Structure 1
Amino acid sequence: MTGEEPLRPQSLMLTFLGDQVLGRDVCVYSGSVIDVFARAGIGEQAARSTLTRMVHRGLLRRQREGRRMYFGLTERSEAVLRDGERRIWRTGAVNRHWDGTWTLLGFSLPESWQRQRHDLRSRLAWSGFGPLFGGLWIAPGEVDVTALVADLGLSAHVKVFRAHADPGMDIGRMIEDTWELSGLAERYTAFVRRWQPWQSDLPEAGDGLVLRLRLQTEWLQVIRRDPRLPVRHLPDDWPAEEAEKTFRTVHERLTPLARKASGRLLDLVPVRDGQA
């Protein structure tokens, strides 16, 4: 595939778990993970290291069956995967139904709190916020940041408001000043360029599974950086709609092949309580 980019093993792992384990109450054999990752160009050591790190971070649980080790989801990883699932299949890449509401979040942290500031900004960007001025961030729509702020222990340092722009406010200019539209547009365009050929060309069944995992991983990496700005205030040639259409078309074409391959390649067992 032209323009193929290397994927982080943990990103691919999360996609794999969301695709094959989420909502099924099953655990997957480590050897199956290693096999699939090898087909994606990721070596056995990297796959095993990723599994181990995710266990230590509370993102995976282990379950032994005889001499084999299986891995399943934790509450934490399930929440992460449900959020990704929502982003891909329900929220979508194009915001056509914005009601004019903005969420404003202001924060003031001590100068020595560099880590907390970095964590807050990263979480705000993931939630669709952009920096309006210094410690004042803005996002389209009504964004509930209660859990986000509480999780970081910053409730006393953050103030949140809902607002509407005054008539005459140049929202398009504000968007251009707050978010890096050119970089986001290029990511959508690059996605279309990489994946459009697979709307007509079909791979072998085994490659179909890996390609679908890569497709979903790359798509989530693109849309997770998108604040879903109101489309009526974006450039007329905004490429998100074409990219989303490409994603859904290719995903649909790859799905029968991926299901056939997963049935052959994956060893899954039911989740048992009391395993760690």
Structure 2
Amino acid sequence: MSVEGALRPQSLMLTFLGDQVLGRDVCVYSGSVIDVFARVGIGEQATRSTLSRMVGRGLLRRQREGRRMYFGLTERSAAVLRDGERRIWHTGAVNRHWDGTWTLLGFSLPESWQRQRHDLRSRLTWSGFGPLFNGLWIAPGEVDVSSLVAELGLSAHVKVFRAHADAGTDIGAMIGETWELAELADRYEAFVRRWQPWESRSPQDADDALPLRLRAQAEWLRIIRGDPRLPVKHLPDGWPAQRAEHTFRAVHERLTPLAEAAAERLLDLVPVRDDQA
């Protein structure tokens, strides 16, 4: 199987676990993971290292069964995966129902707080915000950032407001100045070019359907998590998100029967035991 586009092993791992483990109270054998990941070009050592790092970061739990080691989700990773599931299947890539509300976040940090400033900006970007001005960021809709700000320890330095634009504001121009629309559009268009052929194709090896679907889902999640879901009526004509979403759903639907059959053959799963962390 050959599909373009580099993905971090941890991103693939989370997608794989969300697909096969989330909500099922099971753990998956490390050898099964190694087999699936080898089919997307990730070697055994890189897969084992990813599993170990994710255990160390509290994203995975180990469970030994005889001589085999199995891996399952923690509360932290399950929360991350539920958010990804919501973004893929419920929120979607196109914001057609925006009510005109914006969330404004202003911050003022000491000059010496370079790390804190970098962390805040990174998390705001991940949450759909863009820099309206230096120290003032904006996102469409009502975005709850209270936990994000508290986690970074910046509650005393951040102020959050809900607002509507004045009637004379050129929202389309503001969006174009605040977000890198051309870059985001390129990502959607590249996804369509890469995956549209699979709307009418099946892999030659039926077992490749599982890693192929895994890769499509991980790539799609990476794109939509980087999309602030700006109101579609203020985006350029021919905005490619809807076309890309159609491609993703069509490919996912086509591959799913084969992928589920492959999972039955390739994956060794055991029930979660409460006596192991």
- TM-score scaled to structure 2, two decimals? 0.98
Shift of 1:3: 6.6
The verdict on how the C-alpha distance between 1:207 and 1:2 changes in structure 2, with shifts beyond 3 A counting, is closer
**Partner Cα separation in structure 1 for residue 3 and residue 168 of structure 2:** 43
**Partner Cα separation in structure 2 for residue 7 and residue 169 of structure 1:** 39
1:1-276 → structure 2 map (5 Å cutoff): 4-203=4-203, 204-276=205-277
**Partner Cα separation in structure 1 for residue 87 and residue 114 of structure 2:** 29
Shift of 1:114: 1.2
**Partner Cα separation in structure 2 for residue 44 and residue 7 of structure 1:** 16
Q: Which amino acid aligns with 1:233?
A: H
Shift of 1:40: 1.1
Shift of 1:2: 7.6
**Partner Cα separation in structure 1 for residue 119 and residue 78 of structure 2:** 21
* Partner SS state of residue 5, structure 1: coil
Residues 188-216 of structure 1, C-alpha deviation per residue, up to 9 Å, x if partnerless?
A: 00000000000111113211001100000
**Partner Cα separation in structure 2 for residue 134 and residue 3 of structure 1:** 40
**Partner Cα separation in structure 2 for residue 3 and residue 83 of structure 1:** 26
Residues 59-93 of structure 1, C-alpha deviation per residue, up to 9 Å, x if partnerless?
A: 00000111111000001100111111111111100
**What is the aligned length?**
276
* Partner SS state of residue 198, structure 2: helix
Shift of 1:274: 2.1
The verdict on how the C-alpha distance between 1:85 and 1:254 changes in structure 2, with shifts beyond 3 A counting, is same
Gaps of 5+ in 1: none
CA contact 1:2–1:194 (8 Å) conserved in 2: no
The verdict on how the C-alpha distance between 1:29 and 1:3 changes in structure 2, with shifts beyond 3 A counting, is closer
* Partner SS state of residue 149, structure 2: helix
Residues 222-276 of structure 1, C-alpha deviation per residue, up to 9 Å, x if partnerless?
A: 1111000000000111000000000000000000010000000000000001212
Larger mean CA deviation between 112-121 and 90-99 belongs to: 112-121
Gaps of 5+ in 2: none
Residues 147-200 of structure 1, C-alpha deviation per residue, up to 9 Å, x if partnerless?
A: 111111110000000000000210000000000000000000000000000011
**Partner Cα separation in structure 2 for residue 237 and residue 54 of structure 1:** 40
**Partner Cα separation in structure 2 for residue 267 and residue 16 of structure 1:** 14
* Aligned alpha-carbon RMSD (Å): 1.0
Identity over aligned residues, as a percent? 83
* Partner SS state of residue 263, structure 1: helix
* Partner SS state of residue 99, structure 1: coil
**Partner Cα separation in structure 2 for residue 5 and residue 22 of structure 1:** 25
Q: Which amino acid aligns with 2:63?
A: Q
Residues 82-131 of structure 1, C-alpha deviation per residue, up to 9 Å, x if partnerless?
A: 11111111110000000000000000111111111111111111111000
